[in-house]
Structure 1
Amino acid sequence: MRTTYQYRLRPTAPQQAVMDQWLEKLRHQYNWLLSERFQWWEEHRCPVNACPLVCHLPQLKNQPDCYSQQRSLVPMKQARPWYKEVYAQVLQDMVKRVKLAFDRYLKGDSNGTRSGRPRFKGKGRYRSFTYPQASLKWVNGKAVNLPKIGKVKLILHRPLPDGFKLKTATIIYKAGAWYVSLSLEDKLVPSLMFDSPTPENTVGIDVGLKSFLVTSDGEEVIIPQFYRKAEKRLKRLQRQLSKKKKASNRCKKAVKRVAKVHRKITNQRKDFHYKTAKKLLSQGKSIGHESLNIKGLTKTRMAKSINDAGWGQFLQILSIKAERAGLLTIAVNPNGTSQDCSSCGVKVLKTLQDRWHNCSECGCSLDRDHNAAINVQKRAVGHPVQAL
């Protein structure tokens, strides 16, 4: 079993300066190694016997790979001695990031999905570095001992689980704050067995914008709208930012103020999602939900409200937490869940403004979202209501 715990760091000013310097040095070397791969690809992308007449035949070179680029770090440190200040394994992990980014561009991920062309990192765009061989000995209750940086104050808001081995430690800089993500592994944790979904051990949920979600039991979770509530303050701060001279010190400070508001909104939303997922899973039931095309929905007029609700993040958190609790999350076809009657299966046409379901065939009358949640539950267990 693999899990990650993230904690807030409180580094001193000298420690922040060191970590900032590391990020900048890693950014430069990342761009250099990525350009080396691009150059080889442009020169060797087709066989010599199939090369078009408009190109020149370069001197053939070996393809840069992870190992050759890691070996190149040794002469690079001799030519640029200031790179010796960066922990060696952190530099080696940066080379792996270049490899992963370039391989996803050429070959695709495990599902065969290819990414776009990797971008060169601009100033401030390289925000994390990883210790690939971390140890639990580095962590105590008040600090984490990072090689070549020292003991950095740590806010251990929850204890580390027993029996797990620390694999990697990643230092992340986000909107003026430093965090450490500890990747933990325990190979002795057995694989969980999941019960088959039944009407008794499964609950359906319908996510929306009027309410964040409604369950098939009729429970409603109010939508918090964190971004909408902070929109007025963001508008004021962004107006102040627009009046600053670009790249000036005042501009940088204004950017940080805007980033802090966005960071707070993100943290509030994630905290709400975790608490909502925990409340749902505390019933000990599997969860059925609609398989929504969220990316497509964010291109509609309701994009701001959908992004504010964060359905995608919530469903991802729900899936992870359910798996660890030995429960299932079942995605069902969303077509007709709001239109079909949950009692008799007859299609009752409604517009988006119609918030109540009234069936003329069986007399079923209940909230539109509650009706959809019941339909989701029945589809999740494999027993949808069919119209007679």
Structure 2
Amino acid sequence: MRITYQYRLRPTKQQTATFVHWLELCRRQYNYRLAERFNWYEQNRCDIDRCSLEVCHLPQLKDKPSRWSQQKDLGNTKALFPEYKDMLLHTLQDVIARVEKTFDRWLKGDRNSKRSGRPRFKGKGRYRSFTFPDPIKPEHIQGKFIKLPKIGKVKMILHRTLPDSFKIKTATITHKADGWYISLSLEDVTVPSFKTDLRPTPDNTVGIDMGLKSFLVTSDNQEVPIPQYYRKAEKRLKRLQRQLSRKKKGSNRRTKAVKRVAKTHLKVGNQRKDFHYKTALWLLNQSQVIAHENLNIKGLVKSKLAKSITDAGWGQFLQILNTKAVSAGYLVVAVNPNGTSQDCSDCGATVSKTLADRWHSCQCGASYDRDHNAARNIKHRAVGHPVLQSSVNVRRVAGSR
């Protein structure tokens, strides 16, 4: 089992200068290694797909830069640029590993064959973290301090103790708008991954319908209001961004104005994440199986409701909910979202509604709030309720007419 704990650091001015210098060196190394791969890619591209029998017009293929060949070249980097000698070799190797990962995801895709966009070079201040792949031992954490290689003891706010059986695998230093943080990746091979044998039943399942009027409504008609943290911070952000636009580029005042805007965005993100964690824990205390719609959030963000959907953070919430459910041995089920708002949760008949219609009334006598009715349908689909069969039959009859 692998988990990550994040702690805040309180480095001295000298340690802060070292962190900033290392980030800049990592940024340069990242851009250089990425440029090497782009050069290989451009040199091996050719519009000619065939040659004559006498002359071959195809150029000789160049050797593809790999992770291992670029790591081997780090010795030349340290010889040409002495400032790299003060850095850990493994930290630079991690930079090359990041380059390979982002480049391969562009050309080949991830394990689900989903390709990312073309990698971009990191501008100044855009490279914000570096990693110590070498394991840090528990004895390196002494009270309020953590001992980092080639840096020394750095003050750390240890707001929660490390588990005794877990070993520290990696440590990542991250620079955020409000300071420096360290993320410790912990692993315990003796703790197996949770594999639940739960099956959705009417007694242990709750359906949730996520929306913009309310963040979510459960099949038990419990409502969680939507906080809209970004909407509430918009007025302050407008003022700060207006002040930023008046500052001269390259000045100290502009740097301070950028930091004020970044801190406001960071606060909004932290508030939203805290709300998502608390809501996920509340749901898992309600039931062992959580059913939700399998929404195409990336597609919905392209609509006119993009700002509200992004402010709600459905994708982050579902990711947190799945992570917490796996840790607790519970189950999260995604169901087909088609017709959950239109179908009656009692008889399965289709009752057409527009987005403005917020109440569901059916000829069978069912009368629910639109979101409550959708949450009930989501629960029925997760447990395989007989209403689904009647819904299919009603649609077939309606189609035959």
Shared fold, TM over 0.5: yes
d(CA) in 2 for partners of 1:36 and 1:48?
Answer: 23
Partner of 1:288: 291
Secondary structure of the residue that 1:282 maps to in structure 2?
helix
Alpha-carbon distance, 1:272 to partner: 0.4
Quote how far apart the aligned CAs of 1:254 are: 0.4
| Partner in structure 2 of residue 26 of structure 1 | 26
- Following the alignment from structure 2 to structure 1, what is the Cα–Cα distance between the partners of residues 63 and 224? 58
Structure 1 segment 153-172 matched on structure 2, within 5 A? 153-172=155-174
Which residue does 1:135 correspond to in 2? 136
Is it true that 1:74 corresponds to 2:88 in the alignment?
no
Matched, 1:92 2:103: no
Q: What SS class does the counterpart of residue 240 from structure 2 fall into?
A: helix
* Correspondence for 2:44: 44
Between the aligned partners of 2:51 and 2:155, the Cα distance in structure 1 is 58
Trace 1:265-284 onto structure 2 (pairs within 5 A): 265-284=268-287
Q: Which moved more, 1:109-118 or 1:252-261?
A: 109-118
Match of 1:316 in 2: 319
Structure 1 gap ranges (5+): none
Is the contact between residue 292 and residue 378 of structure 2 (CA under 8 Å) also seen in structure 1? yes
Give 2:2's aligned residue. Answer: 2
1:102 aligns with 2:79: no
Deviation at 1:10, TM superposition (A): 1.7
Q: Determine the C-alpha separation between the residues in 2 that align with 1:140 and 1:354.
A: 61
Match of 1:150 among 144, 152, 155: 152
Task: State the match for 2:202 in structure 1.
Answer: 199
Task: Give me the whole-angstrom Cα distance separating, in 2, the residues matched to 1:303 and 1:114.
Answer: 23
Change (3 A) 1:56 1:251: farther
Report the AA paired with residue 213 of structure 1: L
Which runs of 5 or more residues in structure 2 are unaligned? 395-401
Structure 1 position 258 matched with structure 2 position 261: yes
Residues 288, 331 of structure 1: 8 Å contact kept: yes
- The one-character-per-residue Cα deviations of 1:45-74 (angstroms, maximum 9, x if unpaired) are 46999589998846x643221111111111
Equivalent in the alignment of 1:234:
237
Partners in 1 of 2:23 and 2:328 — Cα distance?
Answer: 38
Give me the TM-score of the superposition, normalised by structure 2: 0.91
| Percent identical | 65
**Change over 3 Å in CA distance of 1:51–1:310 after alignment to 2:** farther
SS at match of 2:321: helix
The answer on whether the counterparts of 1:225 and 1:308 sit within 8 Å (CA) in structure 2 is yes
Residues 2, 188 of structure 2: 8 Å contact kept:
yes
Return the alpha-carbon distance in structure 1 between the equivalents of residues 307 and 346 of structure 2.
34
CA–CA distance in structure 2, aligned partners of residues 311 and 384 of structure 1: 29
3-state DSSP of counterpart to 2:154: strand
In 2, Cα distance between equivalents of 1:55 and 1:127 = 45
Q: Partner of 1:288: helix, strand, or coil?
A: strand
Note if contact 2:280-2:321 (Cα within 8 Å) is conserved in structure 1. yes
Aligned-partner residue type, residue 373 of structure 1? A
Runs of 4+ in 1 over 3 A off after TM superposition: 45-58
Shift of 1:384: 5.5
Q: Distance in 2 between matches of 1:38 and 1:67?
A: 17
Letter of the 2:180 counterpart: W
Q: Given the alignment of the two structures, is residue 222 of structure 1 paired with residue 225 of structure 2, yes or no?
A: yes
Instruction: With the length of structure 1 as denominator, give the TM-score of the two structures.
Output: 0.94
1:335 aligns with 2:355: no
For residues 75 and 259 of structure 2, the distance between their equivalents in structure 1, rounded to whole angstroms, comes to 37
**Matched residue pairs, number?**
386
- Residue 181 of structure 1 is matched in structure 2 by 183
RMSD, aligned CA: 2.1
- Show the counterpart of 2:397: none
The separation in 2 between residues aligned to 1:239 and 1:317, in whole angstroms, is: 35
Q: For residues 1-34 of structure 1, what are the alpha-carbon distances to aligned partners after superposition, in whole Å with 9 as ceiling and x for unaligned?
A: 1221112222222111110000101111111111
